[in-house]
């Protein structure tokens, strides 16, 4: 979808979108439009339950007195509560209504509204951002879809008094949206197309936006000693990869230590010898969601030229059962030297992360580390699909991530850590085992990771419940959500830039 910003002037044809705040309050241009149609807008609002609440829409077709096809009213909520998120939601709502309406181009009248304090140029950029995020589709494998079932909407023009300022504000939002789309693309790809080697090649493409990419193959990983990660990969015909992505957006920083993001990239998780049930196993194509977020985030930061030094590390493996697969009871030696008894081969994500966490802290001496993983079903039992689970060894880092999540509409909820949970993963045969029993399953998983973090502030985001959505929301169509890209982009912007 294309976005343009132009001087406010009433279009003569097509569809015009008019933002409204509660209760049924129009701005000056909206009132002008209302008058030109002989009061159709106020009458239509009165005749319906539309009051201008967040995400509400009301379409007025073929308005009299004008050559317009349609006027679409979209709600922004209470004027004093209009925010980045409600503006984005309005953009998303207009796309959901008009996407398949047959209309190809629409204009949005962005003006100040009574009682609301947002700046129209910034608001235009946020509406465009929300519309863009909602317009995402993964349809590359749909070859027989009828033309009238496909989206018609191609272009959205934001009409504002200051189009230059709006366009400038939109620039960096566009970079973020590109990162979100990259993550959604990766998460949506099936595992016959996206496997460690091909995913590593997709990482390579980030070089075009100024990210340095280093791909380590299995031979190299063996030499380094990533025994835990390689144990997971050994049942698959596809070789493991670890990819390091570096973006140095602030080379003259006083503190050159990078911020590190680490992602679980299990391109398919059958469970291995501890095999999963057949029903729903197809979902495990998105078990590389953590890695997908790290890759999309690196794109977003580079594309919007963030003034930060960042390293992204992803561990890419396929977890398969076979004659070469690891068995329950096997003991592997991790990169840290600590040994692990593999009780359940389906608890593989932690085995991948433990080696790349250790490697990242050792090699890059980061100022902090945040890992992301579709790690446990237990986090879905605890938090459902509304919050990601947050675990941290540092309160300030935890608070900063929580704040960033709230601002972008990707909320996280802090979960506890503690010695009692840690004891659950002690093993008689090795330094630890890879499962701690059913109770507190997402916590014992986090405790396992914590054993591979030494001195740095560290946080772990368990995104198993939020990486994929079965329903549309304002700015996220169902499917891969890219939950984490916007959150971590904001976290970097608010805490580690300049
Ligand atoms: N990838 C799964 C976790 C998962 C489950 C993600 C559902 C998304 C949706 C992970 O590798 C896994 O299998 N975890 C096990 C751990 C258990 C064996 C201790 C789980 O949660 O059942
Ligand atoms: Mn698993
Ligand atoms: Zn998994």
Is 451 a residue whose pLDDT tops 90? yes
β-strand pairing of 155-160 with 2-7: parallel
Q: What is the architecture, at CATH level 2, of domain 2-157?
A: 3-Layer(aba) Sandwich (3.40)
Quick one: average pLDDT of 460-487?
98
Beta sheet of 432-433, edge-to-edge order = 331-333, 339-341, 432-433
- Classify 162 as helix, strand or coil: coil
User: In testing the pocket of ligand 1, which one of 191, 285, 346 has its CB within 8 Å of the most ligand atoms?
Assistant: 346
Instruction: Give the model confidence (pLDDT) of 269-315 as tens digits.
Output: 999 999 999 999 999 999 999 999 999 999 999 999 999 999 999 99
Q: How far is CA 20 from the centre of its chain?
A: 29
Rounded to an integer, what distance in angstroms lies between the CA atom of residue 399 and that of residue 403?
6
Best residue for ligand 1 mutational test, from 347, 351, 376 (most atoms within 8 Å of Cβ): 376
Please give the Cα distance from 256 to 259 (Å, whole number). 9
421, 447 in Cβ contact below 8 A? yes
Q: Is the pLDDT score of 106 beyond 90?
A: yes
pLDDT reported for residue 10: 86
pLDDT bucket at 327, cuts 50 / 70 / 90: very high
Cα(24)–Cα(339) distance, rounded to whole angstroms? 65
To the nearest whole number, what is the mean pLDDT of the chain?
Answer: 98
Question: What does the pLDDT read at residue 18?
Answer: 98
The confidence score (pLDDT) of residue 426 equals 98
What is the distance in A from the centroid of ligand 3 to the CA of 287?
5
CA 5 to ligand 2 center in whole angstroms: 47
**Per-residue confidence band for 9, with pLDDT thresholds at 50, 70 and 90:** confident
In the block, residue with structure tokens 């493409």:
205
pLDDT surpassing 90 at residue 470: yes
For residue 8, the model assigns a pLDDT of 83
Contact (Cβ atoms closer than 8 angstroms) between residue 64 and residue 92: no
CA angle 235, 187, 389 (to 5 degrees): 90
Q: Are strands 388-392 and 368-373 parallel, antiparallel or unpaired?
A: unpaired
pLDDT of 415 > 90? The answer is yes
pLDDT per position as a tens digit, 233-246: 999 999 999 999 99
Work out the angle at residue 46's Cα, subtended by the Cα atoms of residues 107 and 111, and round it to the nearest 5 degrees: 30
Q: What local confidence, expressed as pLDDT, does residue 253 receive?
A: 95
438 catalytically annotated: no
221-247 burial: b if 16+ Cβ within 10 Å, else e: beebbbbbbbbbbbbbebbbbbbbbbb
| pLDDT of amino acid 454 | 98
| CA dihedral over 371, 200, 205, 142, signed as positive or negative | negative
Which atom belonging to ligand 1 lies closest to the Cα atom of 436?
19
Distance from C-alpha of 126 to C-alpha of 144, rounded to nearest angstrom: 34
Going by pLDDT thresholds of 50, 70 and 90, the confidence category of residue 492 is very high
| Nearest Cα residue to 241 out of 262, 261, 260, 266 | 266
What spacing in Å lies between the alpha carbon of 418 and ligand 3's midpoint?
Answer: 24
Annotated catalytic residue 350: yes
Environment of ion ligand 2 (residues, CB < 5 A): 269, 346, 348
The 10s digit of each residue's pLDDT in 51-98 is 999 999 999 999 999 999 999 999 999 999 999 999 999 999 999 999
For the chain, give every residue range classified as CATH 3.40.630.10: 175-495
Measured from the Cα of 348, ligand 1's closest atom is 11
Q: Which of 53, 276, 305, 406 is catalytic?
A: 276
Domain with CATH 3.40.220.10 in the chain: 2-157
Determine the pLDDT at residue 298: 99
| CB-CB neighbours of 48 under 10 Å | 13
| Upstream peptide bond of 425 is cis (omega within 30 degrees of 0) | no
Q: How many residues are recorded in the chain? A: 498
The beta-strand segments (E) located in 111-258 are 155-160, 212-216, 241-248
Contact 265, 199 (CB under 8 A): yes
- The answer to whether the beta carbons of residues 453 and 353 sit under 8 Å apart is no
Atom of ligand 1 nearest to the CA of 374: 6
Ligand 1 pocket test, pick from 191, 229, 266, 287 with the greatest ligand atom count within 8 Å of Cβ, gives 287
Between CA 216 and CA 267 the distance in angstroms is 16
pLDDT tens figures, 349-408:
999 999 999 999 999 999 999 999 999 999 999 999 999 999 999 999 999 999 999 999
Tell me the backbone φ, ψ of residue 494, rounded to 5 degrees. Answer: -85, -20
CA of 375 from ligand 2 middle (Å) equals 8
331 has a pLDDT exceeding 90: yes
pLDDT at 375: 99
- For the domain made up of 175-495, give the CATH fold: Aminopeptidase (3.40.630)
CA distance 363 to 220: 15
Residues 141-152 have pLDDT tens digits of: 999 999 889 999
Question: Which residue's CA is the closest to the ligand 1 atom numbered 17?
Answer: 347
d(CA 50, CA 201): 49
Atom 13 in ligand 1: residue holding the nearest Cα:
346
Task: Give dist(CA 331, CA 343) in Å, integer.
Answer: 9
**Beta bridge mates, 278:** none
**Per annotation, catalytic residue among 70, 134, 285, 350:** 350
Question: Which atom of ligand 1 has the smallest separation from the CA of 276?
Answer: 13
Question: Atom 22 of ligand 1 has which residue's CA nearest to it?
Answer: 377
Tell me the pTM: 0.98
* Percent of the chain with pLDDT strictly greater than 90: 98
Average pLDDT over residues 3-15: 92
Ligand 1 interacting residues, C-beta cut-off 6 A = 269, 283, 287, 344, 346-349, 374-378, 435, 441, 464
Q: Is the pLDDT of residue 17 over 90?
A: yes
What's the CA-to-centroid distance between 313 and ligand 1, angstroms?
Answer: 21
Alpha-carbon span 392 to 400, nearest angstrom: 11
* 254 CA → ligand 3 middle, Å: 39
């Amino acid at each position: 979808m294309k976005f343009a910003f132009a001087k406010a002037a009433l279009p003569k044809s097509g569809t015009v979108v008019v933002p409204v705040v509660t209760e049924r309050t129009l701005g000056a241009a909206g009132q002008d439009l209302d008058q030109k149609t002989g009061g159709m807008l106020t009458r239509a609002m009165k005749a319906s339950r539309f009051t201008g609440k967040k995400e509400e829409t009301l379409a007025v077709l073929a308005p009299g007195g004008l050559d317009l096809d349609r006027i679409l009213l979209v709600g922004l909520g209470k004027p004093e509560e209009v925010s980045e998120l409600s503006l984005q939601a309005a953009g998303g709502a207009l796309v959901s209504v008009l996407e398949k309406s047959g209309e190809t181009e629409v204009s949005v009248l962005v003006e100040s509204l009574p009682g609301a304090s947002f700046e129209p140029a910034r608001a235009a950029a946020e509406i465009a951002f929300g519309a863009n995020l909602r317009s995402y589709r993964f349809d590359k494998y749909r070859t027989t879809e009828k033309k009238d079932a496909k989206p018609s909407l191609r272009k959205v023009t934001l009409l504002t008094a200051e189009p230059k300022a709006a366009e400038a504000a939109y620039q960096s939002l566009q970079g973020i949206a590109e990162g979100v789309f990259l993550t959604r693309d990766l998460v949506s790809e099936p595992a016959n197309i996206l496997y460690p080697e091909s995913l590593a090649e997709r990482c390579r493409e980030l070089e075009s936006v100024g990210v340095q990419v280093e791909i380590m193959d299995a031979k190299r990983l063996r030499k380094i000693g990533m025994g835990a990660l390689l144990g997971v990969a050994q049942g698959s015909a596809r070789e493991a990869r670890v990819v390091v992505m570096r973006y140095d957006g602030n080379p003259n920083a006083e503190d050159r230590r990078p911020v590190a993001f680490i992602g679980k990239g299990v391109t398919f998780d059958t469970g291995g010898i501890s095999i999963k049930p057949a029903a729903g196993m197809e979902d495990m194509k998105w078990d590389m969601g953590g890695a997908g977020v790290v890759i999309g985030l690196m794109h977003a930061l580079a594309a919007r030229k963030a003034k930060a030094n960042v390293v992204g590390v992803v561990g890419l493996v396929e977890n398969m059962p076979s004659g070469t697969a690891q068995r329950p009871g096997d003991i592997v030696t991790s990169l840290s030297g600590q040994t692990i008894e593999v009780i359940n081969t389906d608890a593989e994500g932690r085995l991948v992360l433990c080696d790349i966490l250790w490697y990242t802290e050792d090699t890059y001496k980061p100022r902090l580390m945040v890992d992301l993983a579709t790690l446990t079903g237990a986090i879905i039992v605890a938090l459902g699909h509304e919050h990601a689970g947050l675990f941290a060894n540092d309160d300030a880092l935890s608070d900063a991530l929580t704040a960033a999540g709230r601002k972008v509409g990707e909320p996280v909820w802090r979960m506890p850590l503690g010695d009692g949970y840690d004891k659950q993963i002690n093993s008689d045969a090795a330094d630890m085992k890879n499962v701690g029993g059913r109770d507190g399953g997402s916590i014992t998983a986090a405790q396992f990771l914590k054993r591979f973090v030494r001195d740095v502030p560290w946080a772990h985001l368990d995104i198993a419940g939020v990486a994929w959505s079965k329903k549309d929301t304002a700015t996220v169509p169902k499917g891969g959500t890219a939950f984490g890209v916007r959150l971590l982009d904001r976290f970097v912007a608010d805490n580690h830039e300049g």
